[in-house]
Structure 1
């Protein structure tokens, strides 16, 4: 049996998936992405000397807010009662990148992959916004789901040998 797109009805029209009869389970998803920037911009962030203040604090709050607003941004996403949103940053000086890793959790009838991806994307965009005066050549990339758990389809994790590019 081939996979079907769940957001299309039998007439091929977009519709919100009916999750009424799905079992409430504990669900979570992790996503990752990065923003690549100049060594100078990265040093300002790392040393806390950016003119705009604590860049990571602002991007963390933006990511959390974005996860909570996911259904307002993506038309067919269900509004979810998230119980946990985490946004973490790590600096890789060799690649001149800031990695953003997000975690979203809830007990519910649908998954939280879109919320984790949205949190990651908006945190990266916020880093871009805060640093664009220092570096106009930044690049955002590698945004993807790392793992998900819960629900009918069960647990999934990206294979460790699959590189984040």
Structure 2
């Protein structure tokens, strides 16, 4: 496999997408944060002192994914057409799951935007809950799905 972010001299370059076709593109990424029972119950009940944890985390993730090209050096600036972040609560494991889905019509994919959105959303949960539980663990951030472009559809295999 050839790496596309390097020129013939090994210098980092932004991939030239000028000749690519504009296609509808979508990507979804997921991750989770595990926490203590006390922290989970406060979050679930909406009693965290800093306020609506998941509401703020959703907005933070969306704001961050719109800044991906400023955070990841060789990412293209994209005109996004849709972004959403959803959360799920796993009572038994004291975990909050997050899924970020992003869409555009463009010449390059939105995988990095989806991964950035879910990462910052989970970091925001950590920030808003750290007074109760500094042992929280963020993990399993991964691409779930992508579609559009020359490489077509990717679906993460079930484990």
Partner of 1:103: 101
SS at match of 2:115: helix
Task: Identify the match of residue 58 of structure 2 among 54, 57, 60.
Answer: 60
How many equivalent residue pairs? Answer: 159
* Structure 2 unaligned residues grouped into runs of 5+: none
Q: What is the root-mean-square deviation of aligned Cα atoms in Å?
A: 0.6
Q: Give the Å deviation of 1:58.
A: 0.4
Residue 35 (structure 1) aligns with: 33
Partners of 1:9 and 1:42 in 2: CA distance: 48
Return the alpha-carbon distance in structure 1 between the equivalents of residues 139 and 108 of structure 2: 26
1:96 is displaced (CA, Å) by 1.2
1:157 is aligned to: 155
Could you list the per-position Cα deviations for residues 94-141 of structure 1 after superposition, in whole angstroms to 9, with x for gaps in the alignment? 111100100000000000000000000000100000000000100000
What is the alpha-carbon distance in structure 2 between the residues aligned to residue 144 and residue 5 of structure 1? 21
TM, length-normalised to structure 1: 0.95
Distance 1:105 1:85 in 2: 7
Deviations 1:28-83 (A, max 9, x none): 00000001100111111111111111001100000000110000000000000111
Scaled by the length of structure 2, the TM-score of the pair is: 0.99
- Partners in 1 of 2:69 and 2:145 — Cα distance? 21
**In structure 2, how many angstroms separate the alpha carbons of the residues matched to 1:141 and 1:63?**
16
Q: 2-side partners of 1:8 and 1:54: how far apart?
A: 43
SS state of the match for residue 125, structure 1?
helix
> 1:138 matched to which residue of 2?
136
- Displaced runs of 4+ in structure 1, greater than 2 A? none
